[in-house]
Amino acid sequence: MTAESRPKKIILAAGGTGGHIWPALSFGEWINKNHAECEVRYVCGSRPLEREIYAAAQAEPVVLPVDGSPLAGRGMGQKFARMRALLASYGKAASLVKDFRPDAALVFGGYLSLPVIMACRRAGVRCALHEQNARAGKVTRLASKLGMEIYSGWSECEPLPNKRFIRTGVPVRDFALPARGEAWKNLGLEGEAPGGPVVVVMTGSLGSRAVKDELCRAAGEEAFKSWTFVFAAVADKIERPSENVWLLPKVWDAAQLYGLADMLVLRAGGSTLTEAAVLGLPALVVPWMQAADNHQFHNALAFAGENEGMIWTENDGHEALVSSLVRLNGIKGKNHDRAGDLRGRGGAICENLWSLLFPAV
């Protein structure tokens, strides 16, 4: 069997955070559904969270013994240990490439990409990088200098010039959204699903306590008495601190949260914002201002410029938060024809990536 006729094999390398990992898993799931003959091999790092996310998606990755960037280590001891782990990871990645014999590899940025990139380049395997953020990370900038193909989730990938990247969008999961009542029940919430506006808050743990406090304060005001605020991944078990506020533990099945929501409050991770865009859900975006290279603020700007979205930061104050929520509720569903609209295009994003990696002859 020739290389051209045998089933394709691909490595998808993503680690660090869910912002890198979920796009890889989403693309892999799309490949399994649409190109079942293709063999997908995932690669991740050794952090427990990484393996937890893959396990939740019922995927078994090859685990490299690296858990962070040598440049970000605390003190020379940790930096040296991470450098040793990076070298060991290169050895394991090289063995994987040699044994698996992939036709292509797609890495999703971050420190984990480096050993896979090096192993593929040495073996002559085509390797491209997907950048989920509108502001390119260090590894993405290095990959660009090496002449690698860069696929961007947004119309910009600063500081790269437009000719150095191809916009594909961020691969996202293919959601089948339940009806609100079904989602309410599936999430284990008591009583009947509310009839007024439902705000689902998915801001993670990145400095989000202040955001939660401000939203809970807003929930108690007269203007929001008929609204319901549901916070994901902020409690060990379901809690109801006030009549219209629910606190949930981590929810792996995000379709339930999206099925419940009239609007979202989100951090500005590229994957989550793309999910909101594809599903057509309006969102108040709260960028984490301590993100590397301020990439979350760049993501928020890119999202708000093409979708039903607004931006609020903790420095803007409570009155601006209240005003933004009211305005967002008023405009939802009115702007469906913008040039960058991703509504319903989750499958098209993955198709674009596949076509770039395996162009038709």
The CATH architecture of the domain made up of 180-331 is 3-Layer(aba) Sandwich (3.40)
The whole-model pTM stands at 0.87
Q: What's the N-to-C CA distance of the chain in angstroms?
A: 18
The answer to whether the beta carbons of residues 111 and 137 sit under 8 Å apart is: no
The answer to whether the beta carbons of residues 30 and 58 sit under 8 Å apart is: no
Q: Which amino acid is at 300?
A: A
What would the CATH number be for the domain defined by 9-169+346-357? 3.40.50.2000
CA distance 309 to 285: 7
CB neighbour burial string for 313-337, b if at least 16 within 10 angstroms, e if fewer: bbeeeeeebbebbeebbeebeeeee
pLDDT of res. 13:
98
CA distance 328 to 224: 13
pLDDT of res. 293:
85
pLDDT of res. 211:
93
Binned average pLDDT, 10 residues per bin, the chain of 361 residues: 72 93 96 96 95 94 86 68 88 98 96 95 98 95 96 96 96 90 97 95 78 96 97 95 96 94 95 92 93 91 92 95 94 46 73 94 49
- For CATH 3.40.50.2000, list the domain ranges present in the chain: 9-169+346-357, 180-331
